[in-house]
Structure 1
Amino acid sequence: MTSLARPRMIHARAPGKLNVFLKVGALLDDGYHDVATAYQAVSLYEDIRAYPADDFSVAFSGSIDTSGLALDGSNLAIKAAQLLARVSGYRGGVRLEVDKSVPVAGGMGGGSADAAATLLACDTLWGTDLGREELISLAAQLGADVPFALMGGTAVGTGRGDQLSPALAKGQFHWVLVLADFGMSTPTVYSELDRHRERHALDIYPAERVPSVDAPVLHALRAGDPAMLAEVMHNDLQAPALHLESRLGQVLELGEENGALAGMVSGSGPTVAFLAPDADGALDLQVALSAARHRVIRATGPVHGARIISD
Structure 2
Amino acid sequence: MKITAKAWAKTNLHLGVGEARPDGFHELLTVFQTIDLFDTVTLETIDEEIVETGSVVKRLSVTGPRGVPEDATNLAWRAVDALVARRAEQTPLPAVTLHIDKGIPVAGGMAGGSADAAATLRAVDAWIGPFGQETLLEVAAELGSDVPFCLLGGTMRGSGRGEQLVDMLNRGKYHWVVAVFAKGLSTPAVFKKHDEIHWHGNFEIEELSEALLQGDYLSVGSALHNDLQISAFSLRPELRTVLTDGIKAGAFTGIVSGSGPTLVFICENAADARDVAESLIDGGQVLAAHTATGPASRSARTRGAHILSIED
TM-score by length of 1: 0.90
**Aligned pairs for 1:1-311 within 5 A:** 8-53=1-46, 54=51, 55-56=56-57, 57-62=59-64, 65-66=65-66, 68-88=67-87, 89=90, 91-92=92-93, 93-126=95-128, 128-197=129-198, 207=200, 212-293=203-284, 294=286, 295-303=288-296, 304-310=303-309
How many residue pairs are counted as aligned between the two chains? 290
Shift of 1:213: 4.4
**2: CA distance, partners of 1:157 / 1:31:** 18
**2: CA distance, partners of 1:283 / 1:143:** 33
Residue pair 1:158, 1:212 contacting (<8 A) in 2 also: no
| Structure 2 SS opposite 1:102 | coil
Residue pair 1:145, 1:162 contacting (<8 A) in 2 also: yes
| Structure 1 SS opposite 2:101 | strand
**2: CA distance, partners of 1:69 / 1:310:** 24
**1: CA distance, partners of 2:190 / 2:35:** 23
**2: CA distance, partners of 1:142 / 1:233:** 27
Shift of 1:90: 5.8
Letter of the 1:155 partner, please give it.
M
CA RMSD of aligned residues (A): 1.5
Letter of the 1:13 partner, please give it.
K
Residue pair 2:15, 2:227 contacting (<8 A) in 1 also: yes
**2: CA distance, partners of 1:117 / 1:222:** 29
Runs of 4+ in structure 1 over 4 Å off: none
Residue pair 1:180, 1:271 contacting (<8 A) in 2 also: yes
**For structure 1, which segment, 223-232 or 129-138, has the greater mean C-alpha deviation from structure 2 after superposition?**
129-138
| Structure 2 SS opposite 1:40 | strand
Shift of 1:171: 2.5
TM-score by length of 2: 0.89
Shift of 1:30: 3.4
1:36-88, Cα deviation, whole Å (9 max, x unpaired): 000000101110111113431311013xx22x322221110000000000011
| Structure 2 SS opposite 1:164 | strand
| Structure 1 SS opposite 2:178 | strand
Shift of 1:291: 1.7
Shift of 1:212: 3.4
Letter of the 1:298 partner, please give it.
T
**1: CA distance, partners of 2:8 / 2:60:** 19
Residue pair 1:148, 1:162 contacting (<8 A) in 2 also: yes
Residue pair 2:172, 2:217 contacting (<8 A) in 1 also: no
Unpaired stretches in structure 1, ≥5 consecutive residues = 1-7, 198-203
Residue pair 1:184, 1:269 contacting (<8 A) in 2 also: yes
Shift of 1:91: 3.3
State percent identity of aligned pairs.
39
Shift of 1:230: 1.0
Shift of 1:31: 3.0
| Structure 2 SS opposite 1:256 | helix
Are residues 167 and 90 of structure 1, via their aligned partners in 2, closer, same or farther at CA, if it must alter by over 3 Å? farther
Residue pair 1:38, 1:156 contacting (<8 A) in 2 also: yes
Structure 2 partner of 1:3: none
